[in-house]
């Protein structure tokens, strides 16, 4: 695989003309690599699932409570806005054990990825 990631068909197109894909991501890919490889002709959102330092090591926290999301809105090769600063995460690798996926159609594509723990 020469590209950082590939879209692998999962289902669709659905009623909204969007198709769902699983992501086949190259080993060692960082968040920075992933963002740089987004199609410059598309727009959408990348939801980055990251370990929440406040709850990750709590023994009673559920899996969903151990993580939080950062939403990164992009359009035509540029980051437009984010739900919070993510610069400290740029060199962190994407967790390939997670079900990383995408959904979209026409020129909109949204992604859901998870960052590895350090």
Please tell me the pTM assigned to this model.
Answer: 0.90
DSSP 117: P
**Hey, is 79 helix, strand or coil?**
strand
What is the rounded distance in angstroms from the CA atom of residue 103 to the CA atom of residue 61? 29
Q: Helix, strand, coil proportions of the chain in percent (round to 5)?
A: 10, 45, 45
Check: CB of residue 1 under 8 Å from CB of residue 24.
yes
The structural domain count of the chain equals: 1
- Expressed as residue numbers, the domain containing 23 is 5-114
Mean pLDDT of 89-115: 94
Q: How confident is the model at residue 118 (pLDDT cuts 50, 70, 90)?
A: low
Per-residue pLDDT reduced to its tens digit, 9-45: 999 998 888 999 999 999 999 999 999 999 999 999 9
């Amino acid at each position: 695989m020469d590209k950082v990631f590939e879209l692998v068909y999962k289902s669709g197109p659905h009623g909204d003309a969007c198709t769902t894909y699983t992501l086949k991501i190259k080993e060692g890919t960082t968040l920075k690599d992933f963002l740089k490889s987004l199609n410059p002709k598309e727009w959408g959102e990348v939801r980055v699932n990251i370990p929440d330092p406040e709850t990750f090591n709590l023994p009673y926290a559920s899996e969903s409570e151990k993580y939080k999301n950062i939403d990164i809105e992009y359009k035509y090769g540029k980051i437009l806005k984010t739900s919070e600063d993510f610069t400290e995460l740029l060199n962190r690798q994407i967790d390939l054990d997670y079900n990383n996926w995408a959904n979209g159609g026409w020129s909109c594509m949204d992604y859901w990825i998870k960052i590895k723990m350090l």
